[in-house]
Structure 1
Amino acid sequence: MGIFDRTTKGHVTPAVAVTLEHGALAFFAETIGESDPIYFDTQAAVAAGHPDILAPATYAVAIGAFAGQQALRQGLPDIIDLIKADLRVLLHGTEAYTYHGPMFAGDTVLVENEIIDFTDAKGGKLEIAHVTTRISHAERGPRVTATRAMIHRLG
């Protein structure tokens, strides 16, 4: 048997609110080399018909990290703690993202994680936690659904 707490299968974390801050969003866009000003210049974004700067698609990763920090500040376990992941043997597995709509600076989104399943691979040398993260906006609905695999190397 592995390290993950498999009794958490099916658990959905409480939704955590994350506000997309203008400065952090613009910094992220510039850091990843985004050259379209709708990602870092409010005037350009508004001229293009957006309410504020647009979040790059890859910003969903940062939102997930911010949600984990926010959960800890609220006294809630983050997903790593919840499934009892051991960082000494934890590997990054696959990730996939489905984008349902844009997010903008100033948006407050809700982030929740669902522990879908646990599986084993390589004759028990690997155990895999399958997690889905949902990011949604109160008025505009789902924004991003992410699926990922976290892997413990056991042998």
Structure 2
Amino acid sequence: MKSKIFLYLFVFVSLICLYLFVSSGKMAKAKDDQIIKLNADVTQLQDSVQALQLKVLEMQYFSLENNDDALAYYDHLQMNDPSRYISDKLLETNETKGDNPLVPYEGMESDFKINKIKVLNHKWIITDFSDGKYWGELLIKYELKDDLGVDFTTLDHLLYTRSN
């Protein structure tokens, strides 16, 4: 009787070991497949990140912050962020009552004010303006003087028309 119990126990333990061996092999294969899929996803994400980095670099090409030659014009002024300073001075023109004096149009819904500013280099700025319903863009020439005053001159402008 004792030998039969050991025989049944041995067979039972052998079946459990066989089950664990087979299931661990399937689990390992499933995990390997999952790792391969995740590696493919990581490669795809790295390619996407690289494409976005190239796009950002391309978008930053025309900006004062990345133009060392243009920044050299402001070395004698000892400014940390000339682009920010110029943008702030341009936004101050919005504080006048009525339309912004640099915008050559009269606001139709309210006053035209400058919204977005991109300092291209040491001479030019491109801006977006709007009255809440209508919008346009300006190309502005500016001059930053030694006394930190800024003169703005509108070079060109456009107003988008609504087509409904």
Bigger Rg, structure 1 or 2:
2
Bigger fraction of residues in helix: 2
Q: Select the structure with the greater relative contact order (CA < 8 A; seq sep ≥ 6).
A: 1
Bigger fraction of residues in strand: 1
Query: Which TM-score applies when normalising by structure 2?
Result: 0.29
